[in-house]
């Protein structure tokens, strides 16, 4: 049993402490916006925030998340209002299939918290998520748009 | 039960007993009759395509699958254009394959591949909208007791012109559903289009940024169990034995099952438990006859085909051997292209529930009807006892179209736990080693130049795997796989853009035990590299500019030439490039569209930076330019990832790459600036999702050769130590 705080709500999850946070979020807490893509921290589809920092939840044991504030894509909007990254994503029509986009958005939201006006080089260095649809051109435009918002 | 799944696909229909199919002029059967067919919420169907709710919401049914390419938005634009409805009130839903069968296929083909979503269904979808509009206007006219000819429709409102009376679609929908549909309805002249051709916003964005969108992998059903599976890693192998007792007592494990003859699955309370147990499960495989096959042995087989006497000939003009023998200069090159996995971000999955009188499947699929056929076959139940619900796809790229192996597996698992829904989700590792791979191909190109550097003879010999022979053998023509020649055809949707006086294009079919599949762009990926890189090789041998050399051969192909000229002009071909930047060109016609690219690269040792690619497409009619731009840029990511860093190699009969560490994919840092020139010339409907993919790689390779003097002919480039930065 582990006590997790996800999107401000506390849940008791009954899993082996080595279970990846991703699967506790998806299968115990029931939030499926965070995706399984590779299981080995290569693709970033599972990105969530832990105490505000982007982590790849597929290789983060549940035990690591105990006592931390976890935010998933479902918790990014506040008071029913989209986060500026989500807004920029809608305005720039970034998603294609959309499967990787929750992870992409979470990675970008963490970047903007650290660097509110990222350069292209900052983006290249910190956004390493895989998108097989190839939305990168719109991702870059939307990051700059969100930074200006 | 399906109301928890996404907006599209969540409704089933209540079909009135009199809704018998009756043919309209469009060659499809749009059902009508005295009794109204209703959507589940009770709203009337005007026809199979259009449901209008009392609040004026327009529900447009789309049979093709949305996998990110924007087809539901584009097809809705088609229907809405003719329906004259308020675009802001449009939503879409998927009809189910079971309903399609029960209603004699009113929606036509469900298959979403070959870039055919819009180009092959635009006419009947527009007719669906137009027919519904006429019925709505007639219903309003009947209410007002005036001739329909005195009424007009715009923005979901019908106006009686002489009196100015108006009524909204929602108010007359009930009556319109009872109107006898017109036998034929003329479609608008393209110059009058108001929605087609506009970059309206896609209809499916918001749920993708909030996490609300439900993909197949996310599906939850009451009482559902979770499964994961391992199939024989050697294609053609079988399960010999497995020690279920070793894992049965692990947490959450419910069942350890043999699935068919070739696979083993663990069913557990959660997927993570199933995966943990399957990882621990000892399985012995009977590896069968292919356990010694390697990439090297396959390459040898293909190499022998390059000089084989027996081939399938696609094009033979003049006397190639004579022309090349008599040429002032002979140029020859051999190219090779590897197997590739689709690797969509969402691994393969399907959810199935089986009882003796019903089998239901929820699956992200590019072809609902093919998923339905797989469900019937695996369940052994007739069509009226099966149903398939299409769930959102986390990418398709061809893996989820012709192949429904994961559906077969899910049903075979569900049959062993009747009454319980089971979601089967593959691991990424399983997805990597159980693909339906882009076929492996080699090519030998031989060209002859006369004393003035004119191309007088060209022989393009392909040697490699046929997709159709493995997947649709009934589509072979006297044994020949015409799809192998995509982009090299004498006419049609894949026409070669060059006129060469002596030309031979043929294929030595060399099939392997690795299952081939349709991979975004299919055979244009390698054919464009073979042809367009060799054109640069010929131009160089002739001492001519690559563009000028091509232009001389393209005078009879004005649409091909137009896109090539467009990218050359925009990129500044022939003018000095910035310091350290080198350019390369390529063009092709594929899936009905004419496409070209000019790439700009810079090279620093082994590091290649693709700075910019200018791309042009003439897709005949451009339905939603903003989405076309996104498809172009996205196709370049898929195509350039492949040419720089991807291959699937074979060792001991199995695929060696197991995850993105060994089958890599471009990141944002590697993304070039893509400039799109959308230049629809009208009068035809070309594809969008695939054609442009094929021009990125040869344009970049030609630019690389111009930068370094080095011509690379085997892929991926990482095998040459070249890194994309």
Give every CB contact of residue B290 below 8 A, 6+ residues apart in sequence.
Answer: B234, B235, B236, B237, B513, B653
Q: Taking residues B99-106, report their average pLDDT.
A: 93
Domain boundary among A41, A75, A109: A75
Whether the Cβ atoms of residue B695 and residue A74 lie closer than 8 Å to each other: no
Judge: B344–A31 Cβ closer than 8 Å, yes or no. no
Q: What are chain B's domains?
A: 2-205 (3.30.365.10), 216-288+348-425 (3.30.365.10), 295-340+437-724 (3.30.365.10)
Residue B115 has pLDDT above 80, yes or no: yes
**Residue-wise DSSP of B672-722:** PEEEEEE---SSS----TTTTHHHHHHHHHHHHHHHHS----BS-GGGGT-
- pLDDT attached to residue B5: 35
Q: Which residues of B touch A137 (CB under 8 A)?
A: 630, 633, 671, 673-674
CATH number of the domain at A136, please: 1.10.150.120
Q: Which of B343, B394, B636 sits opposite A134 (nearest CB)?
A: B636
Does the beta carbon of B521 lie under 8 angstroms from any beta carbon of chain A?
no
- Per residue in B640-693, pLDDT (tens digit) is 999 999 999 999 999 999 999 999 999 999 999 999 999 999 999 999 999 999
Nearest CA in chain B to A81: B210
Angle between helices B558-571 and B546-553 (to 10 degrees): 160
- pLDDT attached to residue B1: 29
**Measured between CA atoms, how close is B639 to chain A, in angstroms?**
10
> B716: cis peptide before it, omega within 30°?
yes
Q: Are residues A46 and A29 in the same domain?
A: yes
Q: Which residues of B touch A99 (CB under 8 A)?
A: 215, 344-346, 394-395
Q: Are residues A46 and A7 in the same domain?
A: yes
Q: Which residues of A touch B67 (CB under 8 A)?
A: 97
Whether the Cβ atoms of residue B502 and residue B671 lie closer than 8 Å to each other: no
**What is the pTM for the complete model shown?**
0.95
What SS3 state is found at B337? strand
Judge: B211–A132 Cβ closer than 8 Å, yes or no. no
Task: Work out the end-to-end distance of chain A between its first and last CA atoms, rounded to an integer number of angstroms.
Answer: 41
**Measured between CA atoms, how close is B381 to chain A, in angstroms?**
32
- pLDDT attached to residue B15: 34
- pLDDT attached to residue B235: 98
Judge: A97–B425 Cβ closer than 8 Å, yes or no. no
Q: Are residues A8 and A69 in the same domain?
A: yes
Q: Which residues of B touch A15 (CB under 8 A)?
A: 272
- pLDDT attached to residue A53: 97
B715 pLDDT band, cuts 50/70/90, is very high
Residue B22 has pLDDT above 50, yes or no: no
Q: Are residues A13 and A71 in the same domain?
A: yes
Residue B339 has pLDDT above 90, yes or no: yes
Long-range contact set of residues B604-607: C-beta below 8 Å, sequence gap at least 24: B606/B721, B606/B722, B606/B723, B607/B722, B607/B723, B607/B725
Domain boundary among A21, A50, A75: A75
Bridge partner residues of B51 (DSSP):
B45, B59
Q: Taking residues B591-602, report their average pLDDT.
A: 98
- pLDDT attached to residue B41: 86
| Overall domain count for chain A | 2
Judge: A132–B395 Cβ closer than 8 Å, yes or no. yes
**Measured between CA atoms, how close is A43 to chain B, in angstroms?**
7
Percent of chain B with pLDDT over 70: 95
Q: Are residues A16 and A47 in the same domain?
A: yes
| Strand duo B422-425 + B225-231: pairing | parallel
Q: Are residues A9 and A70 in the same domain?
A: yes
Judge: B637–A77 Cβ closer than 8 Å, yes or no. no
- pLDDT attached to residue B24: 25
Q: Are residues A40 and A21 in the same domain?
A: yes
Q: Taking residues A105-113, report their average pLDDT.
A: 98
Q: Are residues A61 and A98 in the same domain?
A: no
- pLDDT attached to residue B33: 45
CATH number of the domain at A71, please: 3.10.20.30
B25 pLDDT band, cuts 50/70/90, is very low
Give every CB contact of residue B632 below 8 A, 6+ residues apart in sequence.
Answer: B615, B617, B674, B676, B692
- Per residue in B266-282, pLDDT (tens digit) is 999 999 999 999 999 99
Q: Are residues A42 and A66 in the same domain?
A: yes
Average pLDDT taken over every residue of chain B = 94
* Closest to A130 measured CA to CA, from A32, A39, A50, A49: A39
Nearest CA in chain A to B269: A27
Judge: B208–A45 Cβ closer than 8 Å, yes or no. no
- pLDDT attached to residue B621: 97
- Per residue in B215-240, pLDDT (tens digit) is 999 999 999 999 999 999 999 999 99
SS3 content of chain B, % helix, strand, coil (to 5): 30, 25, 45
Q: Are residues A56 and A121 in the same domain?
A: no
Rg (CA), chain A: 15
Give every CB contact of residue B455 below 8 A, 6+ residues apart in sequence.
Answer: B447, B448, B449, B498, B500, B538, B542, B549, B553
- pLDDT attached to residue B213: 98
Range of the domain at A90: 84-148
Q: Are residues A14 and A69 in the same domain?
A: yes
Q: Are residues A37 and A68 in the same domain?
A: yes
C-alpha to C-alpha distance for B426 and B433, rounded to whole angstroms = 11
Three-state helix/strand/coil letters over B513-580: CCCECCCCCCCHHHHHHHHHHHHHHHHHHHCCCHHHHHHHHCCCCHHHHHHHHHHHHHHCCCCCCCCC
Q: Which residues of B touch A100 (CB under 8 A)?
A: 345, 394
Optimal mutation site among B74, B117, B210, interface A, most CBs of chain A within 10 A: B210
Domain boundary among A75, A104, A121: A75
Optimal mutation site among B208, B645, B672, interface A, most CBs of chain A within 10 A: B208
């Amino acid at each position: 049993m582990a006590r997790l705080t996800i999107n401000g709500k506390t849940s008791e999850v009954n899993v082996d402490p080595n279970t990846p946070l991703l699967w506790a979020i998806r299968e115990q807490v029931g939030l499926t916006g965070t995706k399984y893509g590779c299981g080995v921290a290569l693709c970033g589809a599972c990105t969530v925030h832990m105490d505000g920092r982007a982590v790849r939840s597929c290789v983060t044991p549940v035990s690591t998340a105990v006592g931390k504030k976890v935010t998933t894509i479902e918790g990014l909007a506040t008071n029913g209002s989209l986060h500026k990254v989500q807004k920029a994503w809608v305005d720039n029509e970034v998603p294609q299939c959309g499967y990787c986009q929750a992870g992409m958005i979470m990675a970008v939201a963490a970047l903007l918290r650290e660097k509110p006006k990222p350069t292209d080089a900052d983006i290249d260095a910190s956004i390493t998520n895989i998108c097989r649809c190839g939305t990168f051109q719109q991702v870059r435009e939307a990051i700059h748009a969100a930074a200006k918002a | 039960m399906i109301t928890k799944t996404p907006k599209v696909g969540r409704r089933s229909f209540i079909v009135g007993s009199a809704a018998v199919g009756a043919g309209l002029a469009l060659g499809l059967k749009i059902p009508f009759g005295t009794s109204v067919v209703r959507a589940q919420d009770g709203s009337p169907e005007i026809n199979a395509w259009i449901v209008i709710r009392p609040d004026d919401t327009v529900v447009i049914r789309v049979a093709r699958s949305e996998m990110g390419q924007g087809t539901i938005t584009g097809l809705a634009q088609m229907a809405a254009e003719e329906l004259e409805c308020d675009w802001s009130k449009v939503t879409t839903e998927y009809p189910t394959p079971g309903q399609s069968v029960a209603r004699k296929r009113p929606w036509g083909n469900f298959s979403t591949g070959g870039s055919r979503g819009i180009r092959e269904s635009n006419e009947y979808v527009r007719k669906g909208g137009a027919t519904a509009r006429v019925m709505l206007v007639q219903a309003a006219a009947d209410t007002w007791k005036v001739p329909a000819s005195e009424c007009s429709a715009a923005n979901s409102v019908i106006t009686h012109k002489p009196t100015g009376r108006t009524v909204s679609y929602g108010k007359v929908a009930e009556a319109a559903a009872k109107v006898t549909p017109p036998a034929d309805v003329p479609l608008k002249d393209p110059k009058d289009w108001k929605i087609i051709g506009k970059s309206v916003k896609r209809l499916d964005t918001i749920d993708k940024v909030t996490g609300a969108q439900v993909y197949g992998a996310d599906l939850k059903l009451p009482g559902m169990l979770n499964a994961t599976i391992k199939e024989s890693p050697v294609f053609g192998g079988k399960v010999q034995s497995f020690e279920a007792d070793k894992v049965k007592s692990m947490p959450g494990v419910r069942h350890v099952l043999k699935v068919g003859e070739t696979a083993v699955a663990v069913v557990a309370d959660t997927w993570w438990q199933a995966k943990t147990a399957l990882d621990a499960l000892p399985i012995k495989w009977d590896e069968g006859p292919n356990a010694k096959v390697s990439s090297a042995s396959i390459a040898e087989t293909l190499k022998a085909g390059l000089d084989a006497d027996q081939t399938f000939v696609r094009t033979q003009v003049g006397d190639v051997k004579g022309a090349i023998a008599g040429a002032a200069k002979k140029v020859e090159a051999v190219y090779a292209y590897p197997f590739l996995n689709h690797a969509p971000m969402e691994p393969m999955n399907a959810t199935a529930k089986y009882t003796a009188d019903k089998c239901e499947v929820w699956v992200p699929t590019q072809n609902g009807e093919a998923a339905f056929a797989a469900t019937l076959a695996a369940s052994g139940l007739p069509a009226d006892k099966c149903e398939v619900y299409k769930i959102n796809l986390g990418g398709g790229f061809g893996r989820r179209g012709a192949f429904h192996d994961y559906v077969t597996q899910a049903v075979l698992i569900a049959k062993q736990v009747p009454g319980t829904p089971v979601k089967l989700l593959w691991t990424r590792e399983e997805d990597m080693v159980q693909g339906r791979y882009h076929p492996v191909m080699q090519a030998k190109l031989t060209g002859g130049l006369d004393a003035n550097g004119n191309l007088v003879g060209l022989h393009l010999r392909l040697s490699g795997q046929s997709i159709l022979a493995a997947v649709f053998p009934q589509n072979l023509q006297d044994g020949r796989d015409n799809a192998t020649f995509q982009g090299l055809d004498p006419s049609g949707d894949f026409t070669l853009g060059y006129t060469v006086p002596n030309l031979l294009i043929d294929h030595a079919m060399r099939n392997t035990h690795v299952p081939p599949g349709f991979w975004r762009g299919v055979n244009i990926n390698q054919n464009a590299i073979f042809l367009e890189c060799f054109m640069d090789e010929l131009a160089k041998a002739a001492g001519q500019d690559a563009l000028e050399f091509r232009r001389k051969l393209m005078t009879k192909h004005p649409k091909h030439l137009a896109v090539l000229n467009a990218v050359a002009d925009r990129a500044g071909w022939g003018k000095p490039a910035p310091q350290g930047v080198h350019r390369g060109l390529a063009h092709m016609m594929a899936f009905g569209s004419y496409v070209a690219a000019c790439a700009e690269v810079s090279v620093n040792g082994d590091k290649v930076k693709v700075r910019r690619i200018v791309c042009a497409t003439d897709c005949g009619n451009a339905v939603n330019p903003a989405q076309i731009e996104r498809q172009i840029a996205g196709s370049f990511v898929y195509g350039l990832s492949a040419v720089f860093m991807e291959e699937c190699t074979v060792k001991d009969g199995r695929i060696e790459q197991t995850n993105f560490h060994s089958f890599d994919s471009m990141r944002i840092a590697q993304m070039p600036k893509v400039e799109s020139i959308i230049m629809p010339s009208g009068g035809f409907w070309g594809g969008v999702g695939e054609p442009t993919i094929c021009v990125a790689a040869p344009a970049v390779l030609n630019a690389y050769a111009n930068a370094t003097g080095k011509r690379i002919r085997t892929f991926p480039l990482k095998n040459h130590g070249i890194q994309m930065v």
